[in-house]
Amino acid sequence: MNESNKKKTVAIVCGGGPAPGINAVIAAVTLRARNVGFDVIGIYDGFSHLAKREKKYIKLTQDEVSRISIMGGSILHMSRYNPTKSADDLKNVVETLTELGVNYLVTIGGDDTAFSAAAVSSYAKEHGGAINVVHVPKTIDDDLPLPEGVPTFGFETAREMGAREATNLVEDARTSRNRWYFAVAMGRTAGHLALGIGSAAGADVTVIPEEFGAQKISLQRVVDIITGSIMKSYFNGKDHGVAVIAEGVIEKIEQADLEKLGNVELDEHGHIRYSELDFGNILKKSVSRELKKYGKKITIVSKDIGYELRCSSPISYDIEYARSLGCEAVNFLAAGKSGAMISIQNESSEPMYFDDIKDPKTGKTKVRRVNTASLRYKVARDYMTRIEKSDLDNASLAETYDMTIDEFKKRFGYLFE
């Protein structure tokens, strides 16, 4: 058989953390690729084995994927291994894929995996390789640079599951009385998930990193926002509530304050390992101390929301959405194209090329953050109970803190500078 008649092979690599809908993408890629005459292999554990020249994979067939679309998790498992940290790793990835006879690579992941996919595509091209690459955007953080209003797959399921959990906390706080829950929602650099959960559940206040702009903030600023929400609720006759805080707020905290939180560990991509910092408990202790100054003693319970969302069975929206992305990823490759992230916009498949979604400052994939000028954020903010600039002239609210108007303005005015 001459080279042109050899059967083409598609490899699937899953990077980063899990998200609902991954298996639906795997199934769609497999079935569509086989329908157009390609073989399909699934690489286990992200790029970790490829970078070590290890060939750990499974040949994917219709029988292997026939009912996996409704399942959570990933049948190929996941890894955050970063092949771009080493030139040797990148070389090993491309050469191992080539030895496996791979012509096409489909990566499924977030911004870091997209960056790795772009690097693999570039390396293969520069060294005369023949591996066309397409990336399928996956993250419950919803922070990949898609157009506003276009979610990453997995986000809607995670928001739905997270909102159910937060709604139960709202009801528990109401039933127990004199109790607040601090729910720290997953979201490394963007507040999409926290805002979605807080808005849908009717949380009293949601704090996201985007509301602080580009500046670094003190831990006290976050404490004052939450304390203000609690005190204003008391002023309005409500002694219970729920605060949702995006874990990405940690990235905004000044280095001096961050060092007080404990030993900070970084992952393969240089990001803070939030799981090593009990941010909810830190806020709980800090807010409790602040409330004590004003004669308020309440029960505060901290709760992380995130890991239990990542492997949820996808809702129907994400199953259908993920299937569309997987199918269009194969169509993109079959057309001889390479080097893009696939997206669905206005019911059409739209490739977003790696060079176009690269941040010129960092060289990495751009991060989409919450647009605080959007209607979505404005409505969410209007529903929150938190100290606003207009409250600084409220003498009755100042009395709740046992302060004069001038003292109240001096204490909390900085929140609006």
DSSP 24: H
List CB contacts of 196: < 8 A, sequence separation 6 or more: 142, 155, 159, 162, 163
For 155-173, the pLDDT digits (tens) are 999 999 999 999 999 999 9
The predicted-structure confidence for 219-260, as pLDDT tens digits, reads as follows: 999 999 999 999 999 999 999 999 999 999 998 998 788 776
Q: Are 284 and 219 within 8 A, CB to CB?
A: no
Predicted confidence (pLDDT) per residue in 340-360, tens digit: 999 999 999 999 999 999 999
Tens-digit pLDDT profile for residues 13-44: 999 999 999 999 999 999 999 999 999 999 99
DSSP per position, 110-158: SHHHHHHHHHHHHHHHHTT---EEEEEEB-TT--SSPPTT-PPBTHHHH
Cβ neighbours of residue 312 under 8 Å, at least 6 residues apart? Answer: 20, 72, 157, 158, 161
What does the pLDDT read at residue 2?
A: 45
Half-sphere exposure of 100 (CA within 13 A, CB side): 29
Q: Which of 89, 141, 204, 224 is catalytic?
A: 141
Model confidence pLDDT, tens digit, residues 297-341:
999 999 999 899 999 999 999 999 999 999 999 999 999 999 999
Tens digit of pLDDT for each residue in 188-231?
Answer: 789 999 999 999 999 999 999 999 998 899 999 999 999 999 99
Report pLDDT digits (tens) over 372-403: 999 999 999 999 999 999 999 999 999 999 99
Active site residue 141: yes
Percentage of the chain surpassing pLDDT 70?
Answer: 95
**Statement: residue 274 has pLDDT above 60:** no
pLDDT of the residue at 80? 92
pLDDT average, residue stretch 258-287: 72
Q: Say if CB 186 and CB 193 are below 8 A apart.
A: yes
Which residues make Cβ contacts (< 8 Å) with residue 260, sequence separation at least 6? 219
Which pTM was predicted?
Answer: 0.91
Q: What is the pLDDT of residue 1?
A: 38
Per DSSP, the three-state class of 369 is coil
